[in-house]
Structure 1
Amino acid sequence: MELRHIRYALAVAEDRHFSRAALRLHVSQSALSTQIRDLERELGVELFQRNSRNVGLTESGEVFVSRARDVLGAVSRLVSDVSGSNVEQVRLTVGVISSAGRVDVGQALAALTQRHPGIDVTVRPYGSEVVIDGVRSGAIDVGIVGLAPGRLPKTFSATPLWSESTAAFVPDGHPFSTLPSIRLDDLRDVPLVDFASGSEARVQTDQAFAESRVPRGRTYEANSVDLICSLTVNGLGVGLLPESMSAPHPELVCVPIADAPHRVVHAITDPAHSSSLAREFVTLLSDQFTT
């Protein structure tokens, strides 16, 4: 087993899709599939459940991915210790959710690179749950995540950036589009467009519907803001997005939901892996909301 096998398996696990993982890794899908099959053959277990729509992890795959993130984090720290160049001061990996509309990551990174010319920066868009796992393992230095109150891991250092509620997004001309606000009960049995099941954003909306005893209508799932907007503008359902995404698409109208689920967007680090560069970057992010 080589490190590339671990990186390849993690990419497939994170994207839940071979072609998207191959695109991110800059390899062909057939080459990626071959490497994963070789890894499974060496381990003697199947790591992934494959079907025509997506890829899921088997029980063995869940164990492998958890340990693999620890391995890559340990390798990164080993390189830092051996090189003598203190890699943590010249490399920064940021994981950010696609719905973090109010934070300007580019502005903060520009300020950071002015102070520290030559640093290596990687920014990766993930769901909150993947970002949290990456921060915990050390694969991600700083995460930007949106979580419901009480769902933040207690071992993390977390800086709140802003708080907001979920809103309804509808095409211009929809019956909701001229209303000042709606309530969850107005969405009873209405077709919805929401984040994928199991994602942090979806957990929040599912919980809100359950607590309000409002049955969900048919739900179309997507894994990014752009896809939710595309499905919504084409009339498949009412889009559910954070209110900070108030102008994600010129043909959509944002309608507040009076009793909507609430989240806080945090910049997170794990003190077990945190570097001075990561902490400085978090301060730059926080300054956008305090000045």
Structure 2
Amino acid sequence: MELRVLRYFQTVVQQRNISQAAAKLHVSQPTISRQLRDLEAELGTTLLERGSRAITLTESGEYFYHQVEQILALADKTVDNLYNQNDIQGSFVIGAAEAKSFLNVAHALAHVQQDYPKIQAKIFSTNADEVRTNLKSGVFDFGVVMEPAIKTDYDFIHLPGESRWGLLVPNRSPLAQQDHVTLADLQQQKLIISHQSGMQDLLQDWFGDSFSQIQVVATYNLLYNASLLVSAGVGAALCLDGIVNTNQSDLVFVPLTPRQTAGSSLVWLKHQHLSTAAETFLKQLKSDLTM
């Protein structure tokens, strides 16, 4: 199984058409068709449903495409950093939870760019579960995760600053007129909560025996789409402050009382060999945090 063939497969899936993929890759259509048939034969499964208008993925194809995306991303990053190993350039990848403390990472990146303009950072906004998965596979070099987080297999740096928990509600809601919301208020709401692991445990800690009275109507990965659910009246989003800009919007963030906060950490796998670009960023972040 060659990387070249995986790129053929990736492009065909993205274009949904073999002719368009062939034109983009500057390869003949029969060549791509033959390579894809050989790939399916090698794997012993059908990856693509070849319709009259567009190509779609089978269930096996969906799984394989996800794996191919990670394989090619890792291959590209490795080649890029090997090619540039004699100079401080190249790229690294950070998977980041949504948090105000990411600003520490942003400042470090700005300082790195001033001294080493050929270094490129690739940022993926995601949750802690995806961060752990992609760190272990090597796709991510670093992750920014919210506390509390299991860090047994990771080295980490605590990022200064905390975010406060609260409720994102429409400005037409009676809660929008309050200075704060209580746990009792949350029990009266249709809640939209983060689906990452650990959220259920956090709510259990907050509510104790009353946890069963919580009504969760939806879960979210990133808060932007959850904010649209709030605007549409689906429910109120339990979230951290400072992630969604509520200025000139129909939404209001109301903090929770008693005050509940969450910090964050930059994490990376223990004993991981980081590229020169990644090491340069890490050194800069440590320097910034000690100033």
1:156 is aligned to 2:143: no
Aligned-pair identity (%): 20
Asked if 1:266 corresponds to 2:265, the answer is yes
Q: Which residue of 2 aligns with 1:126?
A: 126
1-structure distance, mates of 2:43, 2:260: 43
Distance in 1 between the 2:149 and 2:121 partners? 30
TM-score under structure 2 length normalisation:
0.68
CA distance in 2, matches of 1:259, 1:186: 12
How far apart, in 1, do the equivalents of 2:46 and 2:256 lie?
44
Matches within 5 A, 1:1-291: 1-3=1-3, 27-29=14-16, 42-44=42-44, 61=63, 65=67, 73=74, 76-77=77-78, 83=83, 85-86=84-85, 89-97=88-96, 99-104=98-103, 105-146=105-146, 148-152=147-151, 154-161=152-159, 162-188=161-187, 190-195=189-194, 197=195, 199=196, 203-211=197-205, 212=207, 213-214=210-211, 215-245=213-243, 247-248=245-246, 250-258=249-257, 262-270=261-269, 271-285=271-285
Secondary structure of the equivalent of 1:101?
Answer: coil
**CA separation in 2, counterparts of 1:232 and 1:2?**
46
Using the TM superposition, give the Cα deviation of residue 227 of structure 1 relative to its aligned residue in structure 2, in angstroms: 0.8
Q: After the TM superposition, which of the residue ranges 116-125 and 245-254 deviates more from structure 2?
A: 245-254
Residues 259 and 132 of structure 1, relative CA distance in 2, 3 Å threshold: farther
Residues 98 and 125 in structure 2, CA contact (< 8 A), matched pair in contact too: no
Query: Unaligned 5+ residue runs, structure 1?
Result: 12-21, 48-54
Q: Aligned residues, how many?
A: 258
Does the 8 A contact of 2:223 with 2:244 survive in 1?
Answer: no
Unaligned runs of 5+ in 2: 22-31, 48-56
Q: CA deviation at 1:43?
A: 2.2
- Whole-Å separation in 2 of the counterparts to 1:4 and 1:134: 23
Answer whether contact 1:70 1:137 (CA < 8 A) is retained. Answer: no
Any idea what the Cα deviations from partners look like across 1:151-203, whole Å, max 9, x if unmatched?
A: 23x222211113334311112231212223223332225212233x3x2xxx3
Query: Alpha carbons of 1:123 and 1:231: their partners in 2 closer, same or farther (altered >3 Å)?
Result: same
Deviation at 1:229, TM superposition (A): 1.3
Query: What amino acid is aligned across from residue 135 of structure 2 in structure 1?
Result: V
CA pair 281-78 structure 1, distance change in 2 beyond 3 A: closer
Distance in structure 2 (CA, Å) of the matches to 1:186 and 1:7: 52
Higher gyration radius (CA): 2
Contact 2:166 2:181 in 1 (8 A): no
CA distances 1:253-278 after superposition (whole Å, capped 9, x unpaired): 21122357653311122241323532
3-state DSSP class of the match of 2:177? coil
Cα distance in 2 between the residues matched to 1:231 and 1:288: 38
Q: Secondary structure at the match of 2:203?
A: helix
Partners of 1:265 and 1:30 lie apart in 2 by: 43
* 1:22-79 Cα shifts (integer Å, max 9, x gaps): 8xx99324569x99x96666423589xxxxxxx9x88x959x94x9958964785477
SS at match of 2:265: strand
Structure 1 length normalisation: TM-score? 0.68
Aligned alpha-carbon RMSD (Å): 4.2
- Given that residues 94 and 124 in structure 2 are in contact (C-alpha distance below 8 angstroms), is that contact kept between their aligned partners in structure 1? yes
CA distance, structure 2, for counterparts of residue 97 and residue 138 of structure 1 = 15
